Amino acid sequence: MSQVVKQTYREAVREAIREALHRDERVFLMGEDVGCYGGCFAVSQGLLQEFGPERIRDTPLSESAFVGAGIGAALGGMRPIVEIMTVNFSLLAADQIMNNAAAYLHMSGGCFNVPLVVRMSTGGGKQLAAQHSHSLEGWYAHIPGIRILTPATLEDARGMLWTALKDPDPVFIFENNTLYNMEGEIAADAGAVDINRACIRRAGSDVTLISYAAGLFKALEAAGQLAAEGIEAEVIDLRTLRPLDYPALLASVSRTHRAVIIDEGWRSGGISAEISARIMEGAFYDLDAPVERICGAEVPMPYARHLEQAALPQPETIITAIKTMVQ
């Protein structure tokens, strides 16, 4: 039986990076403050001392420059892990991401893959205000040519990175910043995980709750409270936003006949709208009620804690929506 250890989400990501650096000499980490400072969220703390400046590389404050350097390194045979501090700052590298990383295989006639992994923090809840707190992973899920991962559990935080590094094409990993301090138990030898399938985190028969990252735990909390009132909610962790695991979603909705999508991103044009449309297209006659969406408020993220919490989906909002839908 494998040993079980206590670990935070932050430590799980760090172990994933450490294991990758040990397993493949082509792997290196680069980004702002990943070396001497140990990372904006302390994920890479201690790695510079262990692996040296050749493999833990601090970069200038230019997302376009170091994402571009990562693309070049990947084309040259390396396996770079590029860290962007927050998802908002990734917009400074949007040209590199969409016009280069995502398009290079197509524009080279299938001759050149870009085996690049980009990690970044995302989401609100830490009072980092409007330029550091948004959930833009749904934007990136709009782009063909890249894979979008959203690990919620310790196992996924630990295991998705190595699978991503084995992918010949660009993979973007979005780590919700409220999860970094989350602690739990994980097998000491936990390894690579599947990045193609959604996962049922709680079985149920009355309604399907669909979410990812921090939203998963709000869905689970709501499902626990609803169970005490006789409403059994099935909770699906999307895990990957592109490509979405539609068969898993449609199979669940065909059993429960109701669906609620929880997404911290904005409602208009968001990933929740895409999921809702696909359910309506693929499972319309299985539905007993319209698909519900519970999303972030369409405002720049407030700094004040009470306003920030009001701008994000909460278990109470989920519970109210489900009770209305079921009853």
Question: Any idea which residues carry the catalytic annotation?
Answer: 63, 132
| Cα distance between residue 278 and residue 3, in whole Å | 41
Alpha-carbon dihedral sign for residues 62, 68, 71, 76: negative
* C-beta of residue 243 within 8 angstroms of C-beta of residue 194: no
CA distance 163 to 214: 22
Amino acid at 105: L
Q: How far apart are CA 143 and CA 294, in angstroms?
A: 23
Q: What is the C-alpha to C-alpha distance for residues 195 and 133, in angstroms, rounded to an integer? A: 25
Instruction: Tell how strand 292-296 and strand 259-266 pair up.
Output: parallel
Please name every residue paired with 176 in a beta bridge, in sequence order, or none if there are none: 122
Closest CA to 292 of 269, 254, 326: 326
Cα→Cα distances 178→43, 108, 226, 268, Å: 13, 39, 24, 24
- Find the helix or strand (DSSP H, E) in which 75 lies: helix 63-75
Q: Is 74 exposed, middle or buried (0-12, 13-18, 19+ CB in 10 A)?
A: buried
Residue 240 has which token pair? 């990957």
- The encoded tokens of residue 123 equal 């989401």
